[in-house]
Amino acid sequence: MATRTRHIGLSLGADICWPICYEALFRKLDLNLDIGGETVNFEVERVAIEPFDLMQPVKYDVVIDRLTHWYHTSREWIKKAILTDDLYVFNNPWSLQAMEKHTSYCAMMRLGFPVPDTWLIPPKSYVESPDLLSTLRKYARLFDLGEIGEKIGYPLFMKPYDGGAWVGVTAIRDGEALKNAYDESGTRLMHLQHGVKPFDAFVRCVGLGPQFRYVNYDPDAPLHDRYRMDRDFLSEADKKTLAQMTIVINAFFGWDFNSCEALRSNGVWRPIDFANACPDSQVTSLHYHFPWLIKSNIRWSAFCAATDRSMHANLNWGNYFEIAGRDLPFEDKLEQYAKLAHDYFQVDDFEAFCEKHLPHLDEVAHEFFGSDTVRDAIRQKVEALYPEHEWDEFTELFWQRIQTWRSESAA
């Protein structure tokens, strides 16, 4: 039987802990898969940043990318590799480059998602450019910011139309606070979004391929406590809705790895932030949820590499818009969108692949996450983020949370 090696590249930035654990767990699995009469095995390698010939062959079959959203050299290498070598990448780099939060809101609003009312307002100030004053004198219209605030309704949030990590986000309760926040916003282009009040749940649903993690999320907590460790806090109906929303968003934009934040108000899940196609992957924030990330990454990357999954560089939105135009309740439209997304992510093939080739992953992972390798990876990340006098405390905190996961998963 012929042997074929599939190469998985990790395109990394400041990542420390998750690549260590991904690489080590992949080695422990020692995968040699019987696929189509061939033995398929895998090699994992970190992608170097270096000059490249635009027609230089690419050795990788799949790349897990953490740099496209901000580092131009890696972004352009990945785009070249898709175009010239059919490389499969998490996530679609053109979509990731172009589809900021503003675009994602507009698209999902058209599909009928119950996104809160959102406005875009011109920036308070501008960077000088040759034609700026002429353009503004001719076409810029004075507007009453307070009137817009009243129309949207308080409370509301002012937040950048792009970006992430809660940078530039301000909670606003009245017209005076709105004026002050706008005066301080500088040259940033901002959204004003109605605040969902009251709400009884705030969930971050993380999607990695056709896999989902539902996290009770507390944005007001310190970073290491935002991802709560709650279990079984959602009904099966709520899980289904959140999973369908997340998989539709991800399939629509070609994102393999993304998170969707949603608030539940009066029984309705309202997505408020879902252009997060480079989600937090560090043990210092995920802790208890960190093993899920590593296992999900292994499953999806192994499936994509072993089966030569197509990149789908061209996004087909027409099928979604056709459903959006039908006279149906949103719940029915969501079911139909989810069927398109189900096909996009090859859910049936993926589940069959995992059942046949990765039945031992959970058992191997359970042992692995009790190892010195994991504890050392935690320590390295803690030392990169925390002052020296907190190294022992936080290493132990995150280690114990993972051991809680091990105990609960074994039970």
| pLDDT at position 219 | 87
End-to-end CA distance of the chain: 40
Q: Is the pLDDT of residue 345 over 90?
A: yes
Q: Is the pLDDT of residue 162 over 70?
A: yes
| pLDDT at position 166 | 66
| pLDDT at position 242 | 98
Q: Could you tell me what percent of the chain has a pLDDT over 90?
A: 83
Do the beta carbons of residue 52 and residue 77 sit within 8 Å? yes
Give per-residue pLDDT as tens, 225-274. 999 999 999 999 999 999 999 999 999 999 999 999 999 999 999 999 99
Q: Among 60-74, 122-136, 187-201, 233-247, whose mean pLDDT is lowest?
A: 122-136
| pLDDT at position 128 | 85
Rg value, the chain, Cα: 23
Per-residue confidence band for 315, with pLDDT thresholds at 50, 70 and 90:
confident
H or E element: which one contains 73?
helix 72-85
Region 346-350 average pLDDT: 98
| pLDDT at position 59 | 95
Give per-residue pLDDT as tens, 32-84. 999 988 999 999 999 999 999 999 999 999 999 998 888 999 999 999 999 99
Dist. CA 255–CA 260, nearest whole Å? 12
- If 0-12 CB within 10 Å is exposed, 13-18 middle and 19+ buried, where does residue 385 land? middle
In the block, tokens 């005076």 appear at 176
| pLDDT at position 290 | 98
Q: Is the pLDDT of residue 125 over 90?
A: no
Q: Which two tokens stand for residue 126?
A: 């501008």
Residues near 181 by beta carbon (within 8 Å), at least 6 away in sequence: 158, 170, 172
| pLDDT at position 316 | 87
Q: Which two tokens stand for residue 256?
A: 């393999």
Q: Is the pLDDT of residue 19 over 70?
A: yes
Do the beta carbons of residue 65 and residue 19 sit within 8 Å? no
Residue 198 CA from chain centroid, whole number: 26
| pLDDT at position 129 | 85
| pLDDT at position 164 | 66
Dist. CA 292–CA 294, nearest whole Å? 6
Q: Is the pLDDT of residue 155 over 80?
A: yes
Q: Among 67-81, 91-105, 112-126, 209-223, whose mean pLDDT is lowest?
A: 91-105
Greater model confidence, 364 or 126? 364
Q: Is the pLDDT of residue 367 over 80?
A: yes
Strand residues in 222-311 grouped as ranges (E): 257-265, 268-273
Q: Which two tokens stand for residue 185?
A: 């916003």
Greater model confidence, 283 or 101? 283
Q: Could you tell me what percent of the chain has a pLDDT over 70?
A: 99
Do the beta carbons of residue 120 and residue 102 sit within 8 Å? yes
Set out the domains of the chain in order of their start, with CATH numbers: 3-98 (3.40.50), 117-194 (3.30.1490.20), 201-410 (no CATH)
Mean pLDDT for all residues in the chain = 94
Which pTM was predicted? 0.95
Q: Is the pLDDT of residue 110 over 70?
A: yes
